[in-house]
Structures are given as structure tokens and as C-alpha cells.
Amino acid sequence: MAQLLRLQSKLPSNALSGIRRFTGGASSNLPPRPESDHAPPPLTQLSEEEKAFQDTVKKFSHDVVKPLVREMDRESKMDQRVIEGCFKNGFMGIEVPTKYGGPGSTFFNTVLVVEELAKVDPGVSVFCDVQNTLIGPLIIELGTEEQKKKYLPHVCKDWLGSFCLSEAGSGSDAFALKTVAKKDGDDFVISGSKLWITNAGQASFFLVMANAEPEKGYRGITCFLVDRDAPGVSVGKTEDKLGIRSSSTCPVHFDQVRVHKSAILGEYGKGYKYAIECLNAGRIGIGGQMIGLAQGCFDNSIPYIQERKQFNTRIIDFQGVQHQVSAIATEIEAARLLVYNAARLKENNLPFIKQAAMAKWYASVVATNTTSKCVEWLGGVGFTKEFPVEKFYRDCKIGTIYEGTSNIQLSTIAKLIDADCVTGICPTGTVFGSYSNRLKCLAFVNPGKLYLTADGFCNDEYNGHLVSVENGFVNMFITQNADTSFVNETSRRFWIGANNITGSGWKNTDSSNATYQHWAPGEPKNLTGSNGCVSVDLKGLWYNDDCFTNYPYVCGLSE
């Protein structure tokens, strides 16, 4: 019989002991409340290790990077001394375990590196960001022992990796990939082109997202490790960009590139999932880049308006300017809190997707506001290349575009809010005792990741099955693994809802034609047309439902 996952929680008897209590007035005779030994530290308070690491990055930024910023921007090329220094100082492969030659440090230190470097040159910061939020973590989490031994020691010392997802026809629609990986015996032959690939100019290897089974849509996307010197790999001309010009951005072409099946990173067909997960973390890194950029621009502007006078008055003494300065300083601090909070959540294995999207979106907004105001404060000189604020102004624009546009971040936030509040009582992922009683929540399940389908959530989180399709993703194909113990007499895979809106009708999971009237024994005829769904409850009873009703979905576990 199918079982429900029940989460039981009990409030400890001393749970309220650390809660702050406020008195009604300043004249209270109550003794001061003793500080709790367990009070969480402020988000911006760094540990001794973090502070030392931050100081190292700051010194490198000012001693090595700063003198080269203008030249690297002009030449659209990163100086080799900067590249070597980032590796030598431990800014690359920050989370790589010590057994593979890495520092075994933390994700939060990655954010500190990105933030500090961005105060001087945001292009150098993204150089480190990609290595630490996308490349290293994916190999650490998904790599075989052989892959880890081959790549991780070099990720820390001398090999740069590039993440190859974007294509000419797949930007915000990240999984509309045309790059394919055709199976040929024990090999795969990769063909296609990638665009806007960060660090491609210096990369030693690539993480390539290619579709091994295009007929399955995004479920065919697989991640491959491809060395730069593999026959058929070529890197195109560096893009002549508006900003972050020291960071190389190039197209990468794969012309019949043959790799062994051992080059697959993670599981076959799970590339879409890995891309979503790592890009969620990457958004925190970009948030760090944007707050560093904003702070660097702000810090370069304040001394000028303290010294510059108009009408025999310092510019900073004009009330209108003071108000703007105060507002910008507050925005930067607020953005930093969002970024640091998201980083701490991720580091502690807590749900962070919504917070990451908020941090990335707001930090990019703040960077845009800050750089614009700084140019205005400096007046004519702010419009020249003699002052760094002009470069910060150009650099910040990319923050609203890459690793998810601002609108994508807002859509993600809205979907997660909707998921948390969809019934008013029971959020998405709630497990119900029966189909008909949606308001009695037996357990709340808050997924820590963003899933394309409810089925993916059920399978990944519980190794179970989707029991009832009750979510609003009507344009996704939602499948169910039919379990004989509670669905029907024949164990097979079939669609349970979500009509194929492309017009080709209902399909079984093997892509064969199906009819909504006869999917499985016992289920009803669906009379609601192209937008209709059917669902099954824990007792194996079928129901006729409306796909556009934003009910949560139900996960069941079989014995």
C-alpha cells in the first residue's frame, strides 16, 4: 500500500527561552536581559577565518588587479598576472576538498572573493565566480572518483573551466538546446555551438549541456566533461562587450566531438536538473558581484563629492545630495544582507532558491541605481574614462541579464510565493490524508530546489511516485510510475495529466499515442477538453479535474 510521508515536529519545552521580550517603556525597573549564548550572529559579522580571507582578497585586488584595470578593460583581455594570482592565492576551487589539493573552504568565502574583487574589477570577480559556483561544485557533487582525481586538483591550481549551456536559441528558455550528443557504441558524438560562454578564452575544459535524446525534450539533456584539446572543439572570437571586458566571453563550437561515456558528469538525462541547481547557487555569486560593484563605485565617488565645491559649499553638504547618498548606502547594505543570508542558507543546506533570486534581482537593481547616481554626483568627470565610475556604470548592466534575467528572477520569486500560499492553508508539497480533504495538512514539505514537474519533486525527494496531479504547470509533461499496489493491475508508465498543448494529443511516456479515455483501468473519461486532467487518489480512485486549478500535488511512497 502507498504510504504518506509524515513530518512530525514537537516544540521543545525550552523553545521560548531565547526569545527577546520587550518592555513597554524606558522607565522599566526590570534588570537587563542577559545575552543568550545561542543568539545568532549578525549576518555581516565574519568569523576570524572569513575576515582573514577577505583581507587577502582585498590586498590582492589593490596591489595586483587595480593597476591593471584600465588596460584590461581597453584590451578586453585579462592579464596573465591576475589569472595566476587568483590560483596562487586560493581564490579558485574554494570548496574543493583537501584530499584533492583544495582548501576545503566554504561557499560563503566564495561570495567574499567575488564581492571584494568586484569592488575593483567586476570582470575579474566573475572569472572567479564561475569557477567556484558552477564548475567546482558540480564536479565535487557529481563526479566519479576518476573525474575528481583528474579535474579537481587542477581546478584549484591551473585549469579554468567553462559552463556551456546558452545557445543562439536558448537564453531565458535555457533548455531549448540544439546541441546534441549522439550515442555511438560506448561513445557520444557532440555537435552544436554555444554562445556567451564565460572564461572560454582561457578554459582548459568545458561542462557541456547536450541533448542525448532530443525526442524526450529536456529529459534528454546530459552534462559532459569535454577537454579543450579534444578534436572538433574550437573557441570563437572574444565578444566585444559593453562591460566586464576583462572577462573573456566567447562562442564555443563542437564539431563531431567524440567523448567516451565516462565523460558524462552525473546521471544520464539529468543535465537539466544539474543546470537548475548550480545556477541557483550562481545567482548568489552574481548578487555578490553586484554588491561589490556598487560598493566599489560608491567608495570611489564619496571622496570626490567631499572635496569638490560649488557655490563655496562641498557637494556632499547639499541636502539633496545627502539624501541620495544616504539612500544609496542603505540600499547597498540591504542588498548585502540579502546576498549574505542566501549564502548562509545554502551553506547550511537550507532552502535558498527564493532568497537567491531575491538577492540577485535586488543587488542588480541596487548596482544600477548606485552607478547611475555616482556618475551624476561627479558630473562631467563622471562621464569620462579618467574616473572608474564610468566603468562600473558599464559593468553593472550584465547583472540584469546573465544567470537569469531580472524578469526571470521575479517570475521565480512569484512562483515560489504562489507555491507556498496556493491553497491559503496547505502549501505546494503538502501531503494529504485523502484526495477530498485538502485543508487537513498532515505534513508540510518545502522543496529546497526548483523542479520543472511535480513528478521530479516526488522522485527526487522521496524516491516515490506522483499520486495526484494538482499543480499549475499545465504546459509540462507530468508522468507517473504506476505502482500496482495502489493504481492498477498492470505496472507500466503513463501520462496522468497535463495535455500535450503542442497539438499532438496525449502521449504515453514512451511517446506512443494514447487517448485520455483509456489510460488505465478504472479512470474516467476526460470531458474537459485540451485543458483537462485526471488524477488518482491513494485508494486508486480516479477523478476528473481542471488543470488550471492551482492545487498542490501529492506524493505517495510505495512499500
Locate the DSSP E strands across 155-215.
Answer: 161-164, 180-184, 187-198, 205-211
Cell matching residue 238: 572574444
Distance CA 430, CA 442 (A): 7
| Catalytic choice (390, 403, 470, 523) | 403
At a CB cut-off of 8 Å and minimum separation 6, what does 33 contact? Answer: 20, 21
Work out the burial of residue 187: count CB atoms within 10 Å of its CB; fewer than 13 is exposed, 13-18 middle, 19 or more buried: middle
For 160-268, which CATH superfamily applies?
Answer: Butyryl-CoA Dehydrogenase, subunit A, domain 2 (2.40.110.10)
CATH 1.10.540.10 maps onto the chain at 47-159
Angle at 394 between CA 392 and CA 397, to 5 degrees: 105
Helical packing angle, 271-307 and 107-118, nearest 10°: 40
Distance CA 182, CA 52 (A): 49
Mean pLDDT of 521-550: 38
Q: Is the pLDDT of residue 3 over 70?
A: no
Give the model's confidence band at 520: pLDDT under 50 very low, under 70 low, under 90 confident, else very high: very low
Q: Is the pLDDT of residue 330 over 70?
A: yes
For residue 9, CA distances in Å to 62, 81, 297 come to: 51, 54, 47
Percent of the chain with pLDDT over 70: 68
For 423-557, which CATH superfamily applies?
Answer: Mannose-Binding Protein A, subunit A (3.10.100.10)
Angle at 236 between CA 234 and CA 237, to 5 degrees: 150
Q: Does 450 or 459 have the greater pLDDT score?
A: 459
Q: How many CB atoms lie within 10 A of CB 543?
A: 15
Mean pLDDT of 151-177: 91
Give per-residue pLDDT as tens, 466-478.
Answer: 333 333 222 222 2
Identify the CA nearest to 253 among candidates 272, 268, 281, 231: 231
Looking at residue 173, what is its pLDDT? 78
CATH number of 47-159: 1.10.540.10
CATH number of 276-420: 1.20.140.10
Strands 205-211 and 161-164: parallel
Give per-residue pLDDT as tens, 269-317.
Answer: 989 889 888 899 999 999 999 999 999 999 999 999 999 999 999 999 9
- What is the three-class DSSP state of 283? helix
- pTM higher than 0.75, yes or no? no
Looking at residue 350, what is its pLDDT? 83
Catalytic site includes residue 403: yes
Looking at residue 169, what is its pLDDT? 86
Q: Is the pLDDT of residue 360 over 80?
A: yes
Give per-residue pLDDT as tens, 57-88.
Answer: 999 999 999 999 999 999 999 999 999 999 99
Amino acid present at 412: T
Looking at residue 34, what is its pLDDT? 54
Cell matching residue 205: 575544459
Lowest-pLDDT range, 110-119, 251-260, 499-508? 499-508
CATH 2.40.110.10 maps onto the chain at 160-268
